[in-house]
């Protein structure tokens, strides 16, 4: 035996569904019966045809009423379907917009259950899985962010910082939570501020390192001047040493200021490039010339090996000059005495990084790979990822002689110069055996002109 529905609304709805057909039947039954009866009786009494005519008119009026009602019902049904289709299109468009955003977006209901996420949220926060139905505090476990989402559900917007492992890196997000008044839930957006945070930290470190590096030679100069003005006034030998110290530190300051100016220009958002044909052998000879005295003193030999196709390249001569000068200078400092420094250039096909393209007027198929190899003290593996940072120096360089002590900016200048040209630099080094610096610049070799 069936049971009656317990929901009053469903019962009322069911009754109305059955009432409508029965009422229609009642409306049609009376005039139809009269019409049929009048027609039958008119066989014996012709006057009944008049009543049959009235019943027919009555049926016609009922038919027209139902026809109008049916047309209205169809019109409303069409409008309802159009509204539903429009709502579906709006929802689909909203999902597409959310999925197109590279910022993770998560919406929760009044219980903290995730009800909507975009593609970036599934990829970055959910490792590709569907997040709908999960609790927000099971996905994000940091207390400050969970409390932020809870306060947003209670009507209070806010921000918090979230550190989250993504892939092999730790990313930093600024989480903004805002209330959804209509549902009592919250919407949270996760903006990746990792690079911005690192940039701020890098600037702070740069200021601290620069002040430290400048303070040391300035302190030496001031100390030497005080000594010259005091105890060393009548000591020619001490005076000579102090003057040499002042000259050495002043030269170091001059080099540092020049490197800082070079680095500042390279970090300008729009660096003006002058692309021209550069003859590598002539350029290397010109740049190597100032280092001949130190090569003679340390019995070093600079050997140049340039492929025929790479003799001429199209690039910015000042930037390629900065790259070569700093790499050759480092090699002459850290190579073992009595060894060779090998500078090699070869034309190769180099893939272009879409985030850092080559200069727009360079369309050549081949690029150039330039390597500067020394047989020296090498770089420990633990330091190789950091040598391109500003002011970073390996311990051997810091504790070595003043001849080896640099400004700590040379490799940072090389890195920025190569990047401006759409290229890269990497290092290959074995401690106590030697170091090879490899610069790759794309689309700068025109083999058709050879």
- What's the chain's Rg over C-alpha atoms? 42
For residue 2, tell me if it sits in a domain.
Answer: no
Residue 28: its pLDDT value, please? 66
For residue 183, tell me if it sits in a domain.
Answer: yes
| Partners of 160 in beta bridges | 175
CA angle 417, 290, 416 (to 5 degrees): 10
Residues 283 and 411 in one domain: yes
Residues 62 and 171 in one domain: no
Q: Among residues 136, 164, 192, which one ends one of the domains?
A: 192
Q: Among residues 160, 192, 224, which one ends one of the domains?
A: 192
What is the total count of domains within the chain? 4
| Partners of 75 in beta bridges | none
CB 263 within 8 A of CB 271: no
Per-residue tokens: 31? 């005039």
Could you report the average pLDDT of every consecutive run of 10 residues in the chain (450 residues)? Answer: 38 41 57 72 72 76 81 86 85 78 91 91 86 91 92 93 85 94 92 86 73 82 88 85 89 82 77 91 95 94 95 94 94 94 96 87 92 94 87 56 64 92 95 95 80
Q: Among residues 268, 303, 327, which one ends one of the domains?
A: 268
**Collapsed DSSP state (helix, strand, coil) of residue 409:** coil
Residue 26: its pLDDT value, please? 57
CATH number of the CATH domain containing 235: 1.10.287.130
Residue 27: give the domain boundaries.
9-92
Distance CA 410, CA 368 (A): 21
CATH number of the CATH domain containing 379: 3.30.565.10
Residues 278 and 385 in one domain: yes
Please report how many Cα atoms fall inside a 13 Å half-sphere around the Cα of residue 223, on the Cβ side. 11
Residues 178 and 211 in one domain: no
For residue 175, tell me if it sits in a domain.
Answer: yes
CB neighbours (10 Å) of residue 251? Answer: 11
Residues 179 and 201 in one domain: no
Residues 223 and 143 in one domain: no
Residues 134 and 205 in one domain: no
Residues 350 and 428 in one domain: yes
**Collapsed DSSP state (helix, strand, coil) of residue 160:** strand
Residues 105 and 226 in one domain: no
Residue 395: its pLDDT value, please? 52
Place of tokens 């200069």: 359
Residue 18: its pLDDT value, please? 38
Residues 281 and 404 in one domain: yes
Closest CA to 124 of 101, 145, 147, 143: 101
For residue 258, tell me if it sits in a domain.
Answer: yes
**Collapsed DSSP state (helix, strand, coil) of residue 376:** strand
Model pTM score: 0.58
For residue 4, tell me if it sits in a domain.
Answer: no
CATH number of the CATH domain containing 108: 3.30.450.20
For residue 308, tell me if it sits in a domain.
Answer: yes
**Residue 340 zone, left/alpha/beta (φ > 0; ψ -120 to 50; rest):** beta
Distance CA 192, CA 173 (A): 4
Residues 264 and 287 in one domain: no
For residue 3, tell me if it sits in a domain.
Answer: no
For residue 108, tell me if it sits in a domain.
Answer: yes
Residues 300 and 441 in one domain: yes
Closest CA to 108 of 141, 130, 135: 135
Residue 397: its pLDDT value, please? 43
């Amino acid at each position: 035996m069936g049971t009656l529905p317990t929901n009053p609304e469903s019962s009322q709805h069911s009754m109305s569904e059955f009432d409508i057909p029965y009422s229609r039947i009642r409306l049609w039954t009376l005039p139809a019966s009269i019409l049929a009866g009048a027609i039958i009786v008119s066989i014996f009494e012709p006057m009944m045809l008049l009543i049959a005519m009235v019943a027919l008119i009555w049926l016609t009026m009922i038919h027209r009423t139902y026809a109008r009602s049916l047309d209205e019902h169809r019109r409303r049904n069409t409008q309802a379907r159009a509204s539903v289709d429009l709502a579906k299109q709006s929802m689909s468009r909203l999902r597409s917009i959310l999925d197109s955003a590279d910022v993770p977006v998560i919406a929760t209901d009044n219980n903290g259950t995730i009800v909507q996420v975009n593609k970036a949220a599934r990829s970055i926060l959910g490792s590709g899985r569907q997040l709908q139905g999960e609790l927000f505090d099971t996905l994000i476990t940091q207390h400050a962010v969970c409390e932020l989402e809870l306060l947003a559900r209670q009507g209070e917007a806010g921000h918090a910082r979230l550190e989250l492992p993504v892939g092999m890196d730790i990313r930093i997000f600024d989480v903004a939570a805002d209330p959804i008044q209509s549902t009592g839930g919250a919407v949270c957006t996760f903006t990746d501020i990792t690079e911005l945070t690192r940039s701020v930290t890098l600037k702070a470190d740069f200021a601290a390192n620069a002040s430290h590096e400048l303070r040391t030679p300035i302190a030496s100069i001031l100390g030497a001047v005080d000594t010259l003005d005091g105890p060393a006034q009548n000591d020619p030998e001490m005076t000579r040493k102090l003057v040499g110290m002042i000259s050495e530190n002043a030269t170091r300051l001059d080099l540092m200021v020049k490197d800082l100016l070079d680095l500042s220009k390279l970090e300008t958002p729009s660096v003006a490039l002058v692309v021209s044909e550069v003859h590598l052998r002539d350029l290397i000879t010109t740049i190597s010339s100032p280092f001949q005295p130190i090569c003679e003193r340390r019995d070093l030999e600079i050997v140049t090996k340039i492929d025929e196709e790479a003799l001429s390249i199209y690039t910015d001569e000042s930037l390629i000059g900065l790259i070569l000068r700093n790499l050759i200078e480092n090699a002459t400092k850290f190579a073992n005495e009595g060894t060779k420094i090998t500078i090699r250039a070869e034309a190769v096909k180099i893939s272009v990084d879409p985030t850092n393209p080559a200069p727009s007027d360079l369309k050549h198929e081949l690029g150039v790979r330039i390597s500067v190899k020394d047989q020296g003290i090498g770089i420990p593996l633990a330091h190789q990822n950091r040598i391109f940072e500003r002011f970073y120096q390996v311990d051997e360089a810091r504790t070595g002689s003043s001849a080896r002590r640099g400004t700590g900016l040379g490799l940072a200048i090389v890195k920025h110069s190569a990047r401006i040209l759409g290229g890269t630099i990497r290092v290959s080094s074995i401690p106590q055996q030697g170091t090879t610096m490899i610069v790759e610049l794309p689309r700068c070799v025109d083999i058709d002109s050879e």
